[in-house]
Structure 1
Amino acid sequence: MVFRRRDRRPPLRAVADFLWPRGGWGRAFHYVKHRVRRLPDSPERIARGVWAGVFTTFTPFYGMHFVVAAIIARLMNGNILAALSGTFFGNPLTYVPIGVASLQTGHWILGTEFDSEVDKSLVGKFLAAGEDLFDNLVALVFDRPADWQGLTLFYHEVFYPYLVGGVIPGIICATVCYVLSVPLIRAYQQRRRAKIKAKFEIIKKRAALDAANDTDGAGSA
């Protein structure tokens, strides 16, 4: 597999690498870019996968971005591995600006008021909503009263505006990435094919030269 690691990381190491990869996010970005360019597929299908991955980062489905990106890429006939790579557009350095832009756009479209303090507590709101959802599901299993008021408020103030507002900036950013990806991937693939062809030509010439030397040696004997 393209993205499988040979060495398994401890859970704490995996969390730390997610928040700040070894070498920083710049190095992580170049690593993902290198992997995307080497995918064995057409530039258009790879770029459609990148589009799906980048667009997914503007949706509020945290924890499910891989799944959503794979579904969108499948519907677009895009490369699924490229879509999974494209989700790295959303990372701890970009989640807050992406979230704020999506929320502002969503509240503007819906005609509702945007909470200017949400950028300071966006991650906390999603974590709290996840905890409330888990507690309510546990309450239903053990036949205890569930309180859905907090989740209802979260849905109307954060989730739904985020879902609506993320469409426009998501399409814009994803389309920009698509337009940039196609010529870059095509140029890389052409250069790589040229290098492989050149290597084969060198091997053929060496083989022909060795065969000629063997023939000359046999004739002299």
Structure 2
Amino acid sequence: MSVDPSSLPVIFRDRKSPHRHPPKRRRSRIKRSWRYFYLRFLRLRGTPRYISRGLAFGVFAGCFPLFGLQTLIGVLLAVLFRGHKLTAAAGTWVSNPLTYVPIFAFNYKVGEFLLGFGVGKTPVTLPENWQSWTDLKESGLVFLVTLFSGCFVIGLVASILTYIISVKFIARWRKKRYGS
């Protein structure tokens, strides 16, 4: 007994359906999403200074080890100082799970240098007696002050550089793109 192929459902037929297109070569999702965010960044509304101000505050907030609060702090600073809120949120991405350790280790070393703990002087160490709450609290406070001092200085320098570079970049790009 022979079966007519046209009587079978489509999924059981041997021949390819004439309405199917051959698979196209597609960009990876990551590359497409980065390109989308890049183009979205370039098409933001506002003056270059307004956009760059938001980005600089985001980078400043991203230099602090306040996981989960960086975006909130960056956007809050952008609101207070009239910067672009979306670029402030994007600027906090300077610190991410791949860059946390190197950034904060560097910030800590800068804090040690600024406060005079490093370079031949007594480094900050955790106490050997973990049962002494006062010793542990005292070392932790010194550690936090050292880290946050370095974070503040590095964040300030990084945000100023980000502002200067991004103002020039956005203004140049818009002039090239729109001729104004």
TM-score range, shorter chain: 0.5 to 0.7
Structure 2: gaps (5+ residues): 1-28, 118-122, 126-132
Given that residues 103 and 162 in structure 1 are in contact (C-alpha distance below 8 angstroms), is that contact kept between their aligned partners in structure 2? yes
The 2-side partners of 1:188 and 1:159 are apart by 41
Alignment of 1:20-99 (within 5 A): 23=30, 31-99=36-104
Spell out, residue by residue over 1:127-179, the C-alpha distance to the aligned partner (whole angstroms, 9 max, x if none).
xxxxxxxxxxxxxxxxxxxxx77983674254332211111111222222211
* Residue among 163, 175, 178 paired with 1:178: 163
Q: Displacement, 1:74?
A: 2.0
4+ residue stretches of structure 1 with deviation over 2 A? 27-36, 107-112, 148-155, 157-160, 187-194
Identity of aligned residues (%): 30
Residue 153 of structure 2 corresponds to 168
Deviation at 1:28, TM superposition (A): 6.5
Q: How many residues align structurally? A: 141
Specify the SS of the correspondent of 1:166: helix
Q: Decide whether the 8 Å contact of 1:36 with 1:85 is kept in 2.
A: no
SS at match of 2:171: helix
CA distance in 1, matches of 2:78, 2:66: 16
Aligned equivalents of 1:90, 1:157: Cα separation in 2: 23
Which is helix-richer, 1 or 2? 1
Task: Output the CA distance in 2 between the equivalents of 1:184 and 1:61.
Answer: 29
Distance 1:95 1:149 in 2: 29
Q: Secondary structure at the match of 2:44?
A: coil
- TM-score normalised by the chain length of structure 2: 0.65
Give the partner amino acid of 1:188.
W
Query: In structure 1, what is the Cα distance between the partners aligned to 2:54 and 2:136?
Result: 33
Report the TM-score when normalising by structure 1.
Answer: 0.54
Alignment of 1:122-141 (within 5 A): none
1:63 to partner: Cα distance: 1.1
Q: Quick one: distance in 2 between partners of 1:49 and 1:83? A: 4
Structure with higher Rg: it is: 2
Residue type of the alignment partner of 1:101: F
Give the SS at the match of 1:62.
coil
